[in-house]
Amino acid sequence: MKEYRTINKIAGPLVFVEKTEPVAYGELVNIVLFDGTIKRGQVLDTSDELVVVQIFETTTGIGKDSGVRFTGETIKMPVGREMLGRILSGGGKPIDGGPEIVPEKRLDITGAAINPYARGMPADFIQTGISTIDGTNTLVRGQKLPIFSGAGLPHNNVALQIARQAKVPGSTESFAVVFAAMGITKEEANYFMQDFERTGALERAVVFLNLADDPAVERIITPRLALTTAEYLAFELGMHVLVILTDMTNYCEALRQIGAAREEVPGRRGYPGYMYTDLACIYERAGMIKGQKGSVTQIPILTMPGDDITHPIPDLTGYITEGQIVVNRELHRKGIYPPINVLPSLSRLMNLGIGKGHTREDHKKVSDQMYAGYAEGNDLRGLVAIVGKDALSERDRLLLEFADLFENRFVRQGYDEDRSIEDTLNLGWDLLSTLPVEQLTRIDRDLINKYHPKFKAGAKKV
């Protein structure tokens, strides 16, 4: 392989190389330092005169005297069954002291788009044991459902609780976890690893770790390596794979850094204009394929800068993913775990995975009614602060109490408390029965007669 020493400029993570053979767009590049260290990069722009290479590591040590080798192929990821139980760096190298991965296949990490015609419709209810998810924002297999959180909030616990408790009731199919950390602290990483070890989850997990002190630009490939692995496990080995990506905010920062180095016209808040498409190429790598067994379910975690849901990172994410679970600071301050605020949370695939034959026939309507009650009760809190409780009508007083009950009984649960969907829905009815039955306008009468604690015994009917 020919080695060029024609580096002309180095700017941030970009290296500009002159006068080369025709180099392919997207090609993998190795840069050889004077001491023999190899740094990897990828071609971003190629022409007769100039090739722009984006380096995935720090550019420390790269100089005009460094050698540049073009490998002639795009970046590939060696994958194999043996990856389960292994810990790899954010660049895909084993860091657990174990042997190199013996590849069964080498796959392009960009990943082609699933043909929409080939997709299978997600419909299998995943029970996470968390009421605010199962009851009101149901997760289904093949969905991409991010957690929107803020700095210092317990999103990691929520993610771990999901990873630990997630199951498809009545199914015994094999499943795996792919965990990709981008720019999180060593301490946070340890927290995840300890929990994986404590619960034995590590055996069926593949872990990619790009920590806070690892090169930022490596974060660009970490989620792609993780998803390539997940797709292999799912669509070639038929497993149901849960992918946790944390923290996507760090990924986006890296993306912004590269955009700035390329002197691109920046979009909102300095993030590149193509960030929507770039994120879509990550998040869309979830789903099922018609006639195949496996599935990829994604739970990306991101911290909203300044807790602002309109910040470009959560905003563009929300436009791509199939809903979001929002972790809320106020609930956290009140000491409620998991501090999930259901109002801005949403699962768009919920309707496909619930109801008769999936969970229970009353699921949707119970959920809608609880939302309506909680939303209204929550609004009234502002009013009470001004006019006092006494100025409220009876109806409003009950709604106000409902909002408190909802937070304290439905939202609040233990870190190891694994509620079945039956328990969650029955709890919902218990809370709704504190409201006058005429106020349950979202539920049809038949369901009220069947499930409402005051009517189901059969004596009274509405």
Partner 1 sequence: MEVKEKKTKEAKQGVLKRIAGPVVTAVNLDAHMYDVVKVGKEELMGEVIKIQGENVIIQVYEDTSGIRPGEPVSNTGLSLAAELGPGLLTSIYDGIQRPLAVLVDKMGNFIERGVSAPGLSHEKKWTFKPIAKVGQTVEPGTIIGEVQETNIVHKIMIPPNAKAGKVKVIRSGDFTVDETVCVLEDGREFPMIQRWPVRVPRPVKEKKNPTIPLITGQRILDGLFPIAKGGTAAIPGPFGSGKTVTQQQLAKWSDAEIVVYIGCGERGNEMTEVLTEFPHLEDPKSGKPLMERTVLIANTSNMPVAAREASVYTGITIAEYFRDMGYDVSLMADSTSRWAEAMREISSRLEEMPGEEGYPAYLAARLSEFYERAGLVTSLNGDPGSVSVIGAVSPPGGDFSEPVTQNTLRIVKVFWALDAKLSQRRHFPAINWLNSYSLYLEALQGYYDKEVSPEWNKIRSWAMEVLQKEAELQEIVQLVGSDALPEAEQVTIEVARMIREIFLQQNAYDSVDTFCDMTKQYDMMKAIKLFADLAYAAQLAGVSPAQINAVKSKGELPQIKFIKDYKPELAKIEKQMDTEFSALRSAA
Ligand X SMILES: Nc1ncnc2c1ncn2[C@@H]1O[C@H](COP(=O)(O)OP(=O)(O)OP(=O)(O)O)[C@@H](O)[C@H]1O
* Binding positions for ligand X, rule: CB under 6 A: 319, 346, 348
* DSSP for residue 311: S
Determine if 331 is a binding residue for partner 1 (CB under 8 A): no
What's CA 373's distance to the chain center, in Å? 29
**Contact call for residues 59 and 12 (beta carbons, < 8 A):** yes
**Contact call for residues 45 and 51 (beta carbons, < 8 A):** yes
Cβ atoms within 10 A of the Cβ of 353, count? 23
Determine if 328 is a binding residue for partner 1 (CB under 8 A): no
Regarding beta strands 205-211 and 87-89, do their DSSP bridges make them parallel or antiparallel, or are they unpaired?
A: parallel
Q: What angle do CA 319, 321, 323 make, to 5 degrees?
A: 95
User: Residue 69: which of 121, 17, 123 has the closest Cα?
Assistant: 17
Q: Which is nearer to ligand X, 56 or 283 (CB)?
A: 283
DSSP 66-79: -EEEEEEEE-EEEE
Selected from 9, 64, 268, 461, the binder of partner 1 by CB under 8 A is 268
Q: Taking CB under 8 A as the criterion, which residues in 37-96 touch partner 1?
A: 44-48, 73-74
Instruction: Give the dihedral of Cα atoms 262, 267, 272, 278; nearest 10 deg.
Output: -160
Applying CB under 8 A, the span of 33-41, 166-174, 192-200, 288-296 interacting with partner 1 comes to 288-296
Instruction: Give the dihedral of Cα atoms 166, 172, 174, 179; nearest 10 deg.
Output: 10
Cβ of residue 54: shortest distance to partner 1, in angstroms?
12
Q: Which residue has the tokens 């190199």?
A: 100
Q: Taking CB under 8 A as the criterion, which residues in 232-251 touch partner 1?
A: 235
Determine if 280 is a binding residue for partner 1 (CB under 8 A): yes
Selected from 2, 357, 387, 457, the binder of partner 1 by CB under 8 A is 387
Cβ of residue 96: shortest distance to partner 1, in angstroms?
31
Determine if 305 is a binding residue for partner 1 (CB under 8 A): no
Cβ of residue 252: shortest distance to partner 1, in angstroms?
14
Determine if 121 is a binding residue for partner 1 (CB under 8 A): yes
Cβ of residue 284: shortest distance to ligand X, in angstroms?
13
The amino acid occupying position 124 is D
For 51, the enclosing helix (H) or strand (E) is strand 50-55
Which of ligand X, partner 1, none does 277 bind, CB closer than 5 to 8 A by kind? partner 1
User: Residue 283: which of 330, 226, 203 has the closest Cα?
Assistant: 226
Which of partner 1, ligand X, none does 92 bind, CB closer than 5 to 8 A by kind? none
Applying CB under 8 A, the span of 96-104, 112-120, 147-155, 401-409 interacting with partner 1 comes to 112-120
Q: Which tokens is 341 given?
A: 């605020």
> How far, in Å, CA of 284 to CA of 114, rounded?
8
Selected from 82, 274, 417, 430, the binder of partner 1 by CB under 8 A is 274
Selected from 351, 433, 434, 449, the binder of partner 1 by CB under 8 A is 351
Which of ligand X, partner 1, none does 385 bind, CB closer than 5 to 8 A by kind? none
Q: Which is nearer to partner 1, 287 or 338 (CB)?
A: 287
Q: Which tokens is 453 given?
A: 């604690």
Applying CB under 8 A, the span of 209-217, 236-244, 371-379, 418-426 interacting with partner 1 comes to 371-379
Q: Which is nearer to partner 1, 212 or 320 (CB)?
A: 320
